[in-house]
Amino acid sequence: MRVLSVLGRCSQLPAFYKFTIVGVFALILISKSARDKALVSSPVATLQTGPVDFRERWDKLRRPKNNGLADGIPLRVMFIGASMTLGEHSTGERGYRKQIRDWLVEQGNEVNYVGQNRFGDFLDNDVQAFGAQPIKPTLDRCKEIVPQTQPNLILINAGSSDCFQQNHWGPAFILQKMRDLVDYLFEASPRATIIMSTIITSPWDNVEDCVKSANAQIRQVATDLIREGKPVVLAEMHYDQGLPNRVEKKHIGKDNMHPIDAGYFLMGDIFIESIQDVEEKGWLQAPVNNGIPFDGEAERHAEEAKSEEQIQEKPDEQAKGEEEKSEVKPNARRRRNI
């Protein structure tokens, strides 16, 4: 009865008010219909099928800083290690280096990777790592490149090859060899901040025993250096320290040595946390201005452009040389005739 009473009263209103009331009800119905359609077309959860492409995850990292790390100084980065540092057996052989570079650039810094080797399916892929390389040869090779490049951020993941080659190397003297390596890096590149890291787990029991021994020695080196006031932090990679999101046996590939993409991504994330740590401590310093470009991708583009230019110039130079020869021969004959 109340509804009929209300309708009766509404029928007595002027035409202007009637149209206004009808319009309001129409808008309410339209808004409700649109909202219902949005809920149907945009479910809360989306079922993902198939393998995860970690290349997509590399583009969805932490929110960037507008002014860059350490007020946007250029970062000349050197990765030191062996095949795991190279990223062998990962998608595109990029490991965690591409992931870290993308994140650094998103923070607002110019980045140039430096090293003697070039490895991985991305542009600025310079690295100071070689397959199956233990710590001692790593130091020997660093002496050939660090004084020239002088990186201001160094990330070390070395020692796994010592454990995989126990007949020749093994865990003995890793403490001294790692200390020698880091001491030399500070000597050759005084503006460097160094991130050391422990070794990830191994599914082989004999190798895992070596890994745990090596990690204990690496931790001791890092502790000693930190106590001495050196700009060093330790990126803990082994799950046995009770930290979350570490590489476990399920993250190791079919070769029982190298991580799958998910494992490499975890390692990269741990390194990123350590980079944030040294940035918060205020340790990052601008690199020495020694002529090395600040942007590694721009440097590579310039190299490629120069190489293409040289290739294009070669036919022209050859044709020009043949023309000069043809001009010299008649002149020589005239001289002899004269």
Per-residue model confidence as pLDDT tens digits over 147-206: 999 999 999 999 999 999 998 999 999 999 999 999 999 999 999 999 999 999 999 999
Domain membership flag for residue 22: no
More confident residue, 66 or 103: 103
pLDDT at 327 over 90: no
Question: Helix 135-142 vs helix 174-188: angle between axes, to the nearest 10 degrees?
Answer: 10
Residue 39's alpha-carbon distances to 20, 25, 46, 47, 49, in angstroms, are: 29, 22, 13, 16, 22
Domain membership flag for residue 312: no
Domain membership flag for residue 38: no
Q: Which residues contact 117 (CB under 8 A, 6 or more apart)?
A: 86, 126, 127, 128, 129, 130
pLDDT in tens, 118-152: 999 999 999 999 999 999 999 999 999 999 999 99
Domain membership flag for residue 300: no
pLDDT of amino acid 177: 98
Q: Which residues span the domain enclosing 170? A: 54-280
pLDDT at 75 over 50: yes
pLDDT at 73 over 50: yes
CATH assignment of the domain containing 219: 3.40.50.1110
Q: Which residues contact 272 (CB under 8 A, 6 or more apart)?
A: 61, 62, 99, 100, 103
Confidence of residue 247 (pLDDT cuts 50, 70, 90): very high
CB 77 within 8 A of CB 124: no
CB 165 within 8 A of CB 132: yes
Domain membership flag for residue 83: yes
Mean pLDDT of the chain: 84
CB 89 within 8 A of CB 263: no
Mean pLDDT of the 215-232 span: 98
pLDDT at 12 over 60: no
Q: How many domains does the chain have?
A: 1
pLDDT in tens, 140-149: 999 999 999 9
Domain membership flag for residue 165: yes
The Cα–Cα gap between 232 and 227 comes to 10
